[in-house]
Amino acid sequence: MPDTALPVQPVELPEGAAERYARHLSLPGIGLVGQQRLVGARVLCVGAGGLGSPILQYLAAAGVGTLGVVDDDVVDLSNLQRQIIHPASAVGAPKVRSAAQFIADLNPLVTVRTFDTRLTRDTIGEILDGLDPHIVVDGSDNFATRYLVADTCADRAIPLVWGSISRFSGQVSVFDDGHTLRDLYPEPPEPGTVPTCAEGGVFGVLPGVIGTIMATEVIKLVTGTGTPLIGRLALWDGAEATMRTVCFEPQRGSVALRHTTPPEREQVCTPAPVVTPDGIRETPVARWPELTGSGVRLVDVREPHEWAGGVLGDPLRLPLSTLKTGTLGSLDDLPRDTPLAVYCAAGIRSRAAALLLDRAGFTDVVSLSGGINAWWLRR
């Protein structure tokens, strides 16, 4: 096995497991020993909702020997749009009970331990002491739980697979080897500044995309297959169908983002360039309050239907589709040396808009990488 595998003791496959896991057994990088590691692994999944559903589904199908599931919520009818392990018949039932039944039906070789409780400093310690997981995977949906889980895993040196979703976009990373959530997001946002799924909505298939990536990272860590997302933050924009990766270093107390790779390019971490390959200046969206405070005008280039979900500050509004026609709209009367900071949903359209504005004669234009989704998802 590769040296990147966690110290999970391989165990003999249960009777009848060889046929069930046949496609793993013949897969280079996993094979018999990798599958035995999966069977010997103990994984705690925090949350049995949108992210927890695909995480639990694929980890159970892959043959993780022991799955712990913690959630104190019950199944609601509005959950069924995206929480695919819960049937309509489970509405009103505890999510951990519904999840355990789903796993038992999918793979009876998996041992499930359920914890129908809210995580606090006391309960998380008791759960971790009792389960002794090799990995924790966080599919929770609130900031208090995310920071509690991340801080506790960092203190106990337990690898953490982390993910977050909002509307059409999501993020995934692995915190281990000195990397923590607070390296990316030192503090949680102020209450009420980030819309919940109930307030802002969520694309039904988005948890499936992000949760499946999270399950992938767990399996990679257990088996030592591939390169885990340690020190890298993957950002998926479902509306634009783009994935990019931001690299960061362990650095408590401050954001340490270094480099953003273009979509569908090789993901290599190098020092951050001042100018992108297409000649566009780019800076993290987290800087927008600082920029506007120094006189920079924000420009929102999303489409009008997206503005209803919220904007950054008091932006000028110029959809990219309009800009592509050569129309400058609210920007037409601005002096061409006006400093502009352009943003969209995830930082892709803003780069295209920045290039068009540069061609239109504006001399001080910067694209806000990550877009408004990254701002909403900041921790």
* Residues that are catalytic: 197, 344
Distance (Å, whole) CA 307 – CA 250: 35
What backbone phi and psi angles, to 5 degrees, belong to 71? -170, 135
Q: Which of 160, 172, 264 is nearest to 210 (CA)?
A: 172
Distance (Å, whole) CA 374 – CA 311: 13
Locus of tokens 């995977």: 137
Distance (Å, whole) CA 47 – CA 52: 5
Distance (Å, whole) CA 134 – CA 220: 13
Distance (Å, whole) CA 4 – CA 74: 38
Locus of tokens 């950002």: 235
3-state class of 331 per DSSP? helix
Element (H, E) at 257: strand 257-260
3-state class of 178 per DSSP? coil
Helices (H) and strands (E) in the chain, counts: 15, 14
